[in-house]
Structure 1
């Protein structure tokens, strides 16, 4: 019962009607090279373009397809040319439109081994949420593993599994040509804690997963980085500045999220100890 009550406390914080930035349109823009932003004010969706077809990372809420199409077309591209669909975490606010986009485009959906089942059952097996967060089940064409490289045209994305926020949360890295300079890019899924870290029967190894994920992200040295939520990487500030180059900001963000995780873990252990 304690687990259920704790999990439910997180849900209102994440539902769309509590987060106007999840639905509010934001101007599509280039991040660097062939990487573009096509999401809302806070729900990040990324388009990686190639003459051979495009990769779309995240699709947002269930009603976001028209906004996605509009953003992509404003950049001079077409939604129908998306060939690969990826996600960063199998939560409704990032994948609820994915099945509709898959059917419209014929794109192949790739997902991590741990997130694929949640996507395929429409969120029913998501350990974090309940019926309020269900979505249209998604047909997953390929299950991707840590270290795998996804290629389309000149783009090569390396898969780095960073579980903890969801069971199969994933970070992607690539190199982009930024005005003649090669830069390392990370689509980094941040390790925010949305589930109990101890005594969690639906995700017993969540704390260990987060520890390993932060260790991986600490080893990464991207010059340009983005995240699943625009607010997590100060998108609006960087758009105004005209540059997304921010290696120090990446390190500071990972440090901050890791520190928060350890604080929450310590609190959970202290509470568990006092209850005995």
Structure 2
């Protein structure tokens, strides 16, 4: 789905990842679930492109619902996969601490888990090889994505700023649709390792002038990062 010129979303408000398209090639941010491979193929077909046009895949963190087709893309098409060094082990193994889920409503929670099953979430392949990145890196990929460390949801959570399309992809640093309650609007994400640290990390977005905030779960949010941060802090109390 095209969000703006050169910027596309794969998936739905339940689980989403993003594609930046330019004459120099394609940059992907996150890889959803394994079944999102078909969504990627459909989007590439619509653009008249193939996996050979993908220059790199950046993971906002190493959780299984964000690395879905990453290893397939790396193994079969030679696409490098970038992840913050603090989440490299998680992306390779799936090992992580048990994080609190928080509140839950049966229908939305079952919908999230059913969506995961339909998208082959139980068949996730972890990464055999990654390229480690750090806070402040500007990657030599289409769109010149800028890496912003956002620790809290996981140690190596990052936001990916794409200045040319006025957007920042935030993974699970925040959500606009709580997958376990169905509540919409900017708010903290569930399954966060360190909630207080995640809230503090939101301040790292406030210097951006971007007007599109793109989460891994929920609808794209239009507004300033400063307003978004204030909204989330209100929701957290």
TM-score, normalising length: structure 2: 0.74
Aligned mates of 1:143, 1:44 — CA distance in 2: 22
- 1:259 is paired with a residue whose SS is helix
- Please say if 1:233 is aligned against 2:220: yes
Larger Rg over CA atoms: 1
Q: Could you give the per-residue CA deviations for residues 209-233 of structure 1, whole angstroms, max 9, x where no partner exists?
A: 324312212333312332212x243
- Aligned partner of 1:151 in structure 2 is 140
Q: 1:125 aligns with which of 68, 90, 96?
A: 96
- Please say if 1:48 is aligned against 2:20: yes
Deviates most, 111-120 or 165-174: 165-174
1:126, CA displacement in angstroms? 5.0
1:133, CA displacement in angstroms? 6.8
Aligned mates of 1:135, 1:95 — CA distance in 2: 8
**Is the contact made by 2:62 and 2:87 (CA closer than 8 Å) also made in structure 1?**
yes
Figure out how many residues of one structure are paired with residues of the other and give that number: 203
**Is the contact made by 1:60 and 1:95 (CA closer than 8 Å) also made in structure 2?**
yes
**Is the contact made by 1:149 and 1:159 (CA closer than 8 Å) also made in structure 2?**
yes
State how 1:1-276 maps to structure 2 within 5 Å: 28-29=1-2, 31-121=3-93, 123-128=94-99, 135-153=124-142, 155-176=143-164, 184-189=166-171, 190-191=173-174, 192-195=188-191, 206-207=194-195, 209-229=197-217, 231-233=218-220, 246-248=222-224, 250-261=225-236, 263=237
- 1:104 is paired with a residue whose SS is helix
Aligned mates of 2:189, 2:22 — CA distance in 1: 35
1:152, CA displacement in angstroms? 2.1
Aligned mates of 1:146, 1:100 — CA distance in 2: 26
Give 1 or 2: higher helix fraction: 1
**Distance change >3 Å, CA 193–CA 56, structure 1 → 2:** closer
Aligned mates of 2:140, 2:37 — CA distance in 1: 25
**Is the contact made by 2:91 and 2:127 (CA closer than 8 Å) also made in structure 1?**
yes
**Is the contact made by 1:110 and 1:140 (CA closer than 8 Å) also made in structure 2?**
no
1:105, CA displacement in angstroms? 1.9
Return structure 1 stretches of 4+ with deviation > 6 angstroms. Answer: none
Aligned mates of 1:118, 1:247 — CA distance in 2: 32
Aligned mates of 2:68, 2:122 — CA distance in 1: 9
- Aligned partner of 2:105 in structure 1 is none
User: Where does the alignment leave 5 or more consecutive residues of structure 1 unmatched?
Assistant: 1-27, 177-182, 197-202, 235-245, 264-276
**Distance change >3 Å, CA 208–CA 224, structure 1 → 2:** closer
**Is the contact made by 2:71 and 2:128 (CA closer than 8 Å) also made in structure 1?**
yes
- 1:49 is paired with a residue whose SS is strand
Q: What is the RMSD of the two structures over their aligned residues, measured on CA atoms?
A: 2.6
Aligned mates of 2:144, 2:200 — CA distance in 1: 24
